Amino acid sequence: MRIESVDLHHIRMRLKAPFETSFGVEHDRDAVIVRLRAEGIEGWGECVAGAFPGYSYETVGTAWHVLEEFFVPAILGQDVKDVDDFRGRLAAFRGHPLARAGLELALWDLLGLARGASLATLLGGERRAVPVGVSVGIQTDVRTLLEVVERYLADGYRRVKLKIKPGRDLDEVRAVHAAHPKLALQVDANSAYALEQKTIFQAMDPLGLLLIEQPLAEDDLLDHAALQAVLRTPICLDESILSQRHARQALDSHACRVINIKPARLGGLAEAVAVHDLCWARGAPVWCGGMLETGIGRASNLALASLPGFTLPGDISASDRYYAEDIASPPFTLNSDSTIDVPDSPGLGIAVDPRALARVTLRSAAFNA
Ligand code: NPQ
Ligand code: MG
């Protein structure tokens, strides 16, 4: 397909409530929306880099820069045959997985539309609906946390992830566990601890959490292995896993037993499927992480999570979890069994509303072949 144009939109969407993690509080979600045109059709992608380099070193600014200067020129006016071809054209560039994944997603959407196949079908997905959970930010106090968790349970979520940070961990997790002893519960530290603080996690061990996500530094498989050796609860790695090779080495070295798969962090859906396939072959459970996506990224996550190895509930909430108004339709809603249906129309299976997109756009750029 000859790529005729690429548009970038820097958007800012107000979050329904501030989202606090160990790296900071977000009131708005910034992202870059990508539109690719080829052969009279258009595909949409979403780069989930934010305003602030907290989860990743990438930001909207760095993503815009590498897209404009390097990634877009590498494909504009070119005949890009498939995703492998696309990856080859970007292979010389180092890093910037979030920017790369946003552009790759628009290509997947285009290819699906051109072939009349849903993204789930292109990826090898099997399930029509996928189990999901909700990620709960750090709250002002334990009482508020309990109220917030109760509200999500009333909404129908059957798996809850608590964000934790030093000083806002054990009391919170114990309180939620005591109030809901049978609830499928997990925690995410976003790299906020050091191995010297292992007693915190040893104290959580008897609670039977589903997993402990990314307790230690992103670049530290060795200390994660040391921590996993003293815990029964599985460690799940998120930020540490940037490729299929990292996944293999993390499992081989017992740094984790579970992997959170995010296409953005892995540089795209193709690498995400590769990590899934490796973990599936080794019997290691995976689940689909979340990046507070708009309907574009949410549709992509649902398609990915329909692959058979995604045996744990994903951080893929209903469309109304984070935003009052989305830029894509139809909205995704939670089924009574805490699942969300996988889109089955061609490509991403959603329609971007140009007026809704314009309302949240701060800056646009168009690149034409
Ligand atoms: C995680 N997500 O699993 C991430 C972290 C995260 C749903 O917990 C702006 C940009 C806000 C990136 C909030 C969830 C973000 C962000 C959270 C990433 O680690
Ligand atoms: Mg995480």
Q: Among 291, 301, 323, name the best residue to mutate to test ligand 1's pocket (greatest count of ligand atoms within 8 A of Cβ).
A: 291
What pLDDT, on a 0 to 100 scale, did the predictor assign at position 290?
A: 98
Q: Among 10, 29, 55, 262, name the best residue to mutate to test ligand 1's pocket (greatest count of ligand atoms within 8 A of Cβ).
A: 55
**Helices 221-228, 244-252: inter-axial angle, 10-degree rounding:** 40
Give catalytic status of residue 262 as yes or no: yes
Q: How many angstroms does the Cα of residue 238 sit away from the middle of ligand 2?
A: 5
Give catalytic status of residue 163 as yes or no: yes
pTM score over 0.95: yes
The count of other CB atoms within 10 Å of the CB of residue 17 is 11
Per DSSP, what are the bridge partners of residue 329?
351
CA 301 – CA 305 distance, rounded (Å): 6
Q: Among 12, 21, 57, 321, name the best residue to mutate to test ligand 1's pocket (greatest count of ligand atoms within 8 A of Cβ).
A: 21
Classify strands 134-136 and 41-47 as parallel, antiparallel or unpaired: unpaired
Tally DSSP H helices, then E strands, for the chain.
Answer: 13, 15
What pLDDT, on a 0 to 100 scale, did the predictor assign at position 236?
A: 99
Q: Residue type for 35, please?
A: R
Q: Give the model confidence (pLDDT) of 286-305 as tens digits.
A: 999 999 999 999 999 999 99
Out of 16, 81, 163, 165, the active site residue is 163
Residue 297 Cβ inside 6 Å of ligand 1? The answer reads no
Angle at Cα 310 formed by Cα 307 and Cα 312, nearest 5°?
A: 155
- Give, for 259, the enclosing helix (H) or strand (E): strand 258-261
Smallest CA separation from ligand 1 atom 16, residue: 291
User: Cβ-count burial of 1 within 10 angstroms (0-12 exposed, 13-18 middle, 19+ buried)?
Assistant: buried
Residue 162 Cβ inside 6 Å of ligand 1? The answer reads no
Q: Give the model confidence (pLDDT) of 332-358 as tens digits.
A: 999 999 999 999 999 999 999 999 999
What pLDDT, on a 0 to 100 scale, did the predictor assign at position 68?
A: 98
What pLDDT, on a 0 to 100 scale, did the predictor assign at position 292?
A: 98
CA 224 – CA 67 distance, rounded (Å): 34
What pLDDT, on a 0 to 100 scale, did the predictor assign at position 18?
A: 97
Q: How many angstroms does the Cα of residue 25 sit away from the middle of ligand 2?
A: 15
What pLDDT, on a 0 to 100 scale, did the predictor assign at position 285?
A: 98
What pLDDT, on a 0 to 100 scale, did the predictor assign at position 341?
A: 98
Ranges of the chain with pLDDT below 70? none
Angle at Cα 276 formed by Cα 62 and Cα 283, nearest 5°?
A: 140
What pLDDT, on a 0 to 100 scale, did the predictor assign at position 257?
A: 98
Q: How many angstroms does the Cα of residue 182 sit away from the middle of ligand 2?
A: 23
Q: How many angstroms does the Cα of residue 131 sit away from the middle of ligand 2?
A: 18
Residue 287 Cβ inside 6 Å of ligand 1? The answer reads no
Angle at Cα 263 formed by Cα 362 and Cα 159, nearest 5°?
A: 100
What pLDDT, on a 0 to 100 scale, did the predictor assign at position 51?
A: 97
Q: How many angstroms does the Cα of residue 323 sit away from the middle of ligand 1?
A: 14
What pLDDT, on a 0 to 100 scale, did the predictor assign at position 359?
A: 98
Protein residues placing their CB within 5 Å of the ion ligand 2 = 188, 213, 238
The closest-lying atom of ligand 1 relative to the alpha carbon of residue 56 is 12
φ, ψ of residue 83 in degrees (nearest 5):
-70, -35
Angle at Cα 306 formed by Cα 13 and Cα 209, nearest 5°?
A: 80
Q: Give the model confidence (pLDDT) of 190-222 as tens digits.
A: 999 999 999 999 999 999 999 999 999 999 999
